[in-house]
Amino acid sequence: MKYRYFIVDDHFMVVEGIRALLQSENSLEFMGSARNAAFCMAELLSKRPDIILMDINLPDKSGFELCKEVKLKYPGTKVIGLSTFNQQSFVKKMLESGADGYILKSADKKEILKAIEMVMRGQIYLDADVSGLLRHPEDREIILTKREKEILVLIAEGLTNSEIADRLFLGSSTVDTHRKHLLLKIGARNSAEMIKIAFQKNLLLLDS
Amino acid sequence: MKYRYFIVDDHFMVVEGIRALLQSENSLEFMGSARNAAFCMAELLSKRPDIILMDINLPDKSGFELCKEVKLKYPGTKVIGLSTFNQQSFVKKMLESGADGYILKSADKKEILKAIEMVMRGQIYLDADVSGLLRHPEDREIILTKREKEILVLIAEGLTNSEIADRLFLGSSTVDTHRKHLLLKIGARNSAEMIKIAFQKNLLLLDS
DNA sequence: ATCTTTATCCCGTAAAAAGGGTATTTTAAT
DNA sequence: ATTAAAATACCCTTTTTACGGGATAAAGAT
At the topology level, CATH places domain A146-200 in Arc Repressor Mutant, subunit A (1.10.10)
| List of residues 6+ apart from A73 with CB closer than 8 A | A41, A44
The domain limits of chain B are 3-134, 146-200
Reported confidence tier of residue A9, pLDDT bands at 50, 70, 90: very high
Which residues of chain B neighbour A200 with C-beta distances below 8 Å? 206
Q: Is the pLDDT of residue B141 over 60?
A: yes
Residue A42, pLDDT above cutoff 90: yes
Chain B residue whose CA is closest to A200: B206
Q: What pLDDT score was predicted for residue B155?
A: 93
> B189 to chain A: nearest residue by CA?
A158
Cα B81 from Cα A176, distance rounded (Å): 46
Q: Which of B28, B35, B72 is nearest to B51 (CA)?
A: B28
CA A78, CA A123: separation in Å to the nearest integer? 10
Which band of pLDDT confidence, cut at 50, 70 and 90, is reported for residue A195? very high
Instruction: List chain B residues with CB under 8 Å of A86.
Output: 206-207
Q: How distant is the alpha carbon of residue B49 from its chain centre?
A: 20
Listed range (B89-103, B135-149, B158-172) with the worst mean pLDDT: B135-149
Best of A12, A13, A86 to mutate (most B CBs within 10 Å, chain B): A13
Which residues on adjacent β-strands are paired with residue A126?
A102
Percent of all residues in chain B with a pLDDT value above 70, rounded to a whole number: 91
Say which residue, B157 or A202, is predicted with more confidence. B157
Closest CA to the C1' of C21: that residue is B177
Side-chain-side CA neighbours of residue B150 (13 Å):
11
Higher pLDDT, residue B62 or A83 = A83
CB contact under 8 A, B196 and A195: yes
3-state secondary structure of B32: strand
Q: What is the DSSP string of chain A?
A: -PEEEEEE-S-HHHHHHHHHHHTT-TTEEEEEEESSHHHHHHHHHH---SEEEEESB-SSSBHHHHHHHHHHH-TT-EEEEEE-GGGTTHHHHHHHTT-SEEEETT--HHHHHHHHHHHHTT--EE-HHHHHHHT-TTSPPP---HHHHHHHHHHHTT--HHHHHHHHT--HHHHHHHHHHHHHHHT-SSHHHHHHHHHHTTSS-TT-
Chain A contact set for B15 (CB, 8 A): 17
Q: Model confidence over A139-193: pLDDT tens digits?
A: 567 888 899 999 999 999 999 998 999 888 888 899 999 999 999 889 899 999 9
CA distance A133 to B206: 17
Q: How far apart are CA A8 and CA A74, in angstroms?
A: 16
Query: Which residue of chain B comes nearest to A196, CA vs CA?
Result: B156
Structure confidence at residue B136 as a pLDDT band (50, 70, 90):
low
Three-state SS string over B36-98 comes to CHHHHHHHHHHCCCCEEEEECECCCCEHHHHHHHHHHHCCCCEEEEEECHHHCCHHHHHHHCC
Q: Which helix (H) or strand (E) holds B195?
A: helix B191-200
pLDDT tens digits for A113-125?
Answer: 999 999 999 998 9
What is the 3-state composition of chain B as percent helix, strand, coil, each rounded to the nearest 5?
50, 15, 35
Which nucleotide has the least CA–C1' distance to A189? D18
Distance (Å) from the C-alpha of residue A112 to the closest C-alpha of chain B?
Answer: 10
Q: Would you tell me how many other CB atoms lie within 10 Å of the CB of residue B95?
A: 18
Q: Mean pLDDT across chain A, nearest whole number?
A: 87
Quick one: pLDDT band at residue B134, thresholds 50, 70, 90? low
Give the gap in angstroms from C-alpha B81 to the nearest C-alpha of chain A.
14
Is the pLDDT reported for residue B3 higher than 70? yes
User: Looking at residue B139, what is its pLDDT?
Assistant: 55
Yes or no, beta carbons of B190 and A85 under 8 Å apart: no
- On whether any CB of chain B is under 8 Å from the CB of A17, the answer is yes
* Cα separations in angstroms, A80 against A100, A127, B139: 6, 11, 39
The band of A56, judged by pLDDT with boundaries at 50, 70 and 90, is: confident
**pLDDT confidence band for A132 (50 / 70 / 90):** low
By Cβ distance, the residue of B17, B59, B107 closest to A20 is: B17
pLDDT bracket for residue B153 (50, 70, 90): very high
CATH superfamily membership of B3-134: Response regulator (3.40.50.2300)
Under an 8 A CB cutoff, do B192 and A192 touch?
Answer: yes
Kindly state whether A24 is in contact with chain B, defined as any CB-CB distance less than 8 angstroms: no
Closest CB to A156: pick one of B12, B104, B192. Answer: B192
Q: Which nucleotides of chain D does any protein CB come within 7 A of?
A: 6-11, 15-23
* Conformation bin of residue B45: beta by default, left when phi > 0, alpha when psi is -120 to 50: alpha
CA distance A47 to chain B (A): 23
By percentage, how much of chain A surpasses pLDDT 90? 50
Taking all residues of chain B, what is their mean pLDDT, rounded to a whole number? Answer: 86
Q: How far is CA B181 from CA B37, B171, B192, B194, in A?
A: 34, 16, 15, 11
Q: Report the distance from CA of residue A185 to the C1' of nucleotide D12 in Å, as an integer.
A: 36
State how far the Cα of B114 lies from the Cα of B120, in Å rounded to an integer: 10
B178: pLDDT strictly greater than 70: yes
pLDDT of residue B65: 81
